[in-house]
């Protein structure tokens, strides 16, 4: 067996273990009884350690060097580069720290599930402090191996090659643009009649049936995935068994449907990854900014656009027996494109959403650096919300407890949301230019032209190319904030 073939077999085994982990983590969020938390943490820790050992093994450097000397095709060269990247991350972290992180993350997440509805940050604080101490150890070890800052080492795990210096510049530009733009949008909105609220309630059972119809229209394959419910919506599982979750609000039909559209965008990306590269690093999704671009292309660019809403309005009216002006397309557009200063990130409109992300990015950098004690997080969160959005959460449930990320160990993830929104705007503009009937298809509830373009230009490229190159080939240019600004201006001020 050649060195490269041996590496492929090793990484295929790691992929299978990670797939099992993904299913266990979905089960923990959606199905597992609370009494199973301790046993599940042990299972996850063992599997995490096994997956880590496959890549951090002492013979890996020699295998990587030998494989580099072999005559490999272009795709295999890309796969080998991804293997080396994975080895650098794995070899930097000792196995006992991997296990400790898995156990601490599971314990903290379960504590968060109880603390969030009770708005009780002090209840989860000890677990979060223990987890962050381990995350800092991980960040320091990877920073030394990668030659970057501790925060950038964490960021690299979600956005390969991502650098906080570049993000700082992008976010500074947005932070300068958005406040004045938001004021203009709110002033324009105030001059128009208030949209009519949809008369509820909206039974969860009816919502479940309705969103399945929307998912089918989007191209989701229920033979290779399922939709369940959890405290925080997410998409997990593997390409051939995608697991989505959402949550339903019986007073708000839009929250459930757009949450599902968002997670379905993630699922479609996973399902579209090339089968020829299953189980290999090059066959995985290319970082979280591209992943978020796929969910936001579906939710924000297409889902909240007039064309798709002209199809969705009668679908929802039929599902809930709605009649009258509140169920008109014009009212749906006004509701779906409503802009307001709110507390919850996952329910934020696309104008205010970047402010939510900028706040979390600033806070997590400070916490990782040790500049913000965790006990001071609620106060810092509320001050940031006041400064960036002009609102202060009434309690920590609507404040620093609202997102799961930090509580399950995902530090360095948040900036990819807004990078993804910018990427989505750029990709959707390119798709619309390349597919003249795209909007007409969306008006029929047909996502296939949009999905087909994304499959060819994003999904099929997996991790065979860097993010910047995928974007350049798809749109003709690197990431450009102007595409995002142009989209916002056209939708909200034109």
Q: 229: which strand partners? A: 246
Task: Please tell me the distance from the alpha carbon of residue 105 to that of residue 21, in angstroms, as a whole number.
Answer: 14
Rounded to whole angstroms, what are the CA distances from 261 to 30, 107, 215, 257? 18, 30, 7, 6
Number of H helices, E strands in the chain: 20, 3
The two tokens of residue 76 are 């295999």
Question: Using an 8 Å Cβ cutoff, are 208 and 225 in contact?
Answer: no
Catalytic residues: 263
Helices (H), 321-391: 329-336, 353-369, 377-389
- Categorise residue 352: left if φ over 0, alpha if ψ from -120 to 50, beta otherwise: alpha
**Is the CB of residue 79 less than 8 Å from the CB of residue 281?**
yes
Q: Is residue 148 within 8 Å of 88, Cβ to Cβ?
A: no
How buried is 478 (Cβ within 10 angstroms: 0-12 exposed, 13-18 middle, 19+ buried)? exposed
Bridge partners of 245, per DSSP, are: 228, 234
* Backbone angle region of 195, left / alpha / beta, with phi > 0 → left and psi within -120 to 50 → alpha: beta
**In 3-state terms, what secondary structure has residue 405?**
coil
Torsion-angle region of 237 (φ positive above 0: left; ψ -120 to 50: alpha; else: beta) = left
Half-sphere exposure of 40 (CA within 13 A, CB side): 23
């Amino acid at each position: 067996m050649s060195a490269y073939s041996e590496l492929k077999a090793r990484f295929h085994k790691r992929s299978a273990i990670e797939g099992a982990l993904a299913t266990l983590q979905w089960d923990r969020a959606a199905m597992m009884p609370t009494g199973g938390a301790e046993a599940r943490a042990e299972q996850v820790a063992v599997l995490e350690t096994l997956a880590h050992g496959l890549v951090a093994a002492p013979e890996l450097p020699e295998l990587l060097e030998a494989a580099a000397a072999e005559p490999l095709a272009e795709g295999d060269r890309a796969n080998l580069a991804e293997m080396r990247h994975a080895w650098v991350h794995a070899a930097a972290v000792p196995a006992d720290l991997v296990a400790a992180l898995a156990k601490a993350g599971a314990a903290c997440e379960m504590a968060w599930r109880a603390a969030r509805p009770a708005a009780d940050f002090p209840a989860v604080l000890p677990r979060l402090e223990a987890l962050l101490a381990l995350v800092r150890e991980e960040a320091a070890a990877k920073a030394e191996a990668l030659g970057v800052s501790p925060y950038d080492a964490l960021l690299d795990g979600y956005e390969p090659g991502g650098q906080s210096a570049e993000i700082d510049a992008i976010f500074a530009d947005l932070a300068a643009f958005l406040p004045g733009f938001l004021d203009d949008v709110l002033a324009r909105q105030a001059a128009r009649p208030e949209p009519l609220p949809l008369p509820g309630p909206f039974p969860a059972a009816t919502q479940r049936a309705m969103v399945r119809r929307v998912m089918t229209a989007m191209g989701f394959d229920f033979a290779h995935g399922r939709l369940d419910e959890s405290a925080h919506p997410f998409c997990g599982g593997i390409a051939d068994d995608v697991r989505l979750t959402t949550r339903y609000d019986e007073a708000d039909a839009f929250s459930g449907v757009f949450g599902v559209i968002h997670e379905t965008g993630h699922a479609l990306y996973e399902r579209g990854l090339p089968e020829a590269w299953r189980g290999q690093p090059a066959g995985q999704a290319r970082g979280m900014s591209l992943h978020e671009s796929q969910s936001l292309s579906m939710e924000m660019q297409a889902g909240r656009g007039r064309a798709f809403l002209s199809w969705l309005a009668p679908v929802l009216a039929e599902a809930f027996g709605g009649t009258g002006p509140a169920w008109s397309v014009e009212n749906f557009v006004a509701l779906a494109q409503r802009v307001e200063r709110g507390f919850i990130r996952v329910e934020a409109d696309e104008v205010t959403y970047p402010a939510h992300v900028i706040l979390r990015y600033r806070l997590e950098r400070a916490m990782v650096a040790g500049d913000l004690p965790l006990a001071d997080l609620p106060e810092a969160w509320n001050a940031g919300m006041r400064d960036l959005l002009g609102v202060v959460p009434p309690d920590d449930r609507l404040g620093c407890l609202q997102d799961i990320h930090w509580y399950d160990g995902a530090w360095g993830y948040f900036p990819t949301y807004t990078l993804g929104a910018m990427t989505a705007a750029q990709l959707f503009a390119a798709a619309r230019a390349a597919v003249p009937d795209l909007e007409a298809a969306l008006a029929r509830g047909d996502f296939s032209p949009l999905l087909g373009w994304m499959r060819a230009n994003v999904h099929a490229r997996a991790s065979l190319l860097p993010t910047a190159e995928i974007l350049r080939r798809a749109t003709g240019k690197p990431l450009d904030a102007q595409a995002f600004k142009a989209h916002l201006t056209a939708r909200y001020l034109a």
